[in-house]
Amino acid sequence: MATRGTRRNALQLGGAVICGLLLERASLRGGFDNTRREVFASTDVFARSLAALDAHAELRAGSILHFGHSTHLLSVAGVRVLTDPWIYDPVFGALRHEHGLPAHPSGLATADVLCLTHEHPDHADPTALAHMPRGARCLVGSARTAQLARDAGLTDVTLMEPWQSLRVRELEITAVPALHDVPEVGFVLRGAERSVYYAGDTREGPALLEIRARLSPRTAILPVDGMHRKGTQRMTMGPEEAIAATRTLGVSQVMPSHAETFLHDPIASAFLWEKKDDAAKAFVALAAAGLPGVVCLNPAAGEIVAL
């Protein structure tokens, strides 16, 4: 009896281990990405920022309302541009938001334009996209991203090639090259008085000098956490590379981005992914010492800063 019971326990344990491994494999392949119900920490700060944006012409001319990670509501020349919406965890089966989010995604639906740099689930979250107005103008950096946007119900989707420009009222939007592990573009937004380069995920590269020469943006939003698969090159800039990129771009304002996640999966953090923790803080400290004359913006989630 004892032997049969021991064998049954061993079989049950083996079955549980196999199920666990299969679930882990499916999770790390993205099978559960963007599906977790989010808890929204506070909508007060975000609501105040949105009200300020409505009330003040100066903020409409140029501002960044920071949502979290790479999700920002940019306002330039009176046009509201939402970058890379990511709301729902996890991504890559391994990463979550570091902080609670400042508002429900419907709070972002005031955007005139969505700019999606690439297909990764922390930049083009299908569940978040489904909250956006169906007819919102959506500019994307790859065919796969266009498909994600259309699958989420968006109908006005334009695939942008590097250096392609278009106008939305008084705003010129130009797609610029990006260096990542999947096809991607960044975006430069230029109004009469303000201009912003939103880099998405990119490493440093020769395009930065060309962006400066062709478009001379005044403000740059750069990735800083240096995320990459172990044993491979970085998929985005780390803090030091972003400092060098700021100098190359010759901007007078810079904001760290792509730096508000934590690796919740112990297998992923032990064997698969590597990134710099507290990367925005590290970037701000390096900028204070090494970027004289450049203003470093670092709004908290839900806060708005004028450009």
Give min distance, CB of 192 to Zn ion, in A.
32
Beta bridge partners of 272: none
Give min distance, CB of 232 to Zn ion, in A.
13
Residue in the shown chain whose Cβ atom is closest to Zn ion: 120
CA–CA gap between residue 228 and residue 226 (Å, rounded)? 6
Q: From the list 97, 120, 234, 258, which residue makes contact with Zn ion (rule: CB under 5 A)?
A: 120
Of 201 and 265, nearer to Zn ion (C-beta) is 201
Alpha carbon 63 to its chain centroid, in Å, reads 17
Stretch that binds Zn ion, among 24-32, 128-136, 198-206, 255-263 (CB under 5 A): 198-206
Of 186 and 191, nearer to Zn ion (C-beta) is 186
95 contacts: CB under 8 Å, gap ≥ 6: 89, 122, 261, 262, 263, 264, 268, 273
Stretch that binds Zn ion, among 42-50, 79-87, 139-147, 199-207 (CB under 5 A): 199-207
Distances in whole angstroms, Cα of residue 199 to Cα of each of 171, 194, 224? 18, 16, 11
Of 120 and 137, nearer to Zn ion (C-beta) is 120
Of 116 and 188, nearer to Zn ion (C-beta) is 116
Of 66 and 120, nearer to Zn ion (C-beta) is 120
Q: Is 4 exposed, middle or buried (0-12, 13-18, 19+ CB in 10 A)?
A: exposed
Of 201 and 260, nearer to Zn ion (C-beta) is 201
The answer to whether the bond into 90 is cis (omega within 30° of 0) is yes
CA–CA gap between residue 259 and residue 257 (Å, rounded)? 5
Beta bridge partners of 220: 197, 254
Give min distance, CB of 84 to Zn ion, in A.
9
Q: From the list 89, 125, 201, 204, which residue makes contact with Zn ion (rule: CB under 5 A)?
A: 201
- Is the CB of residue 120 less than 8 Å from the CB of residue 89? no
Stretch that binds Zn ion, among 95-103, 163-171, 194-202, 249-257 (CB under 5 A): 194-202
81: tokens are 């541009």
Residues lying near Zn ion in the complex (CB under 5 A):
120, 201
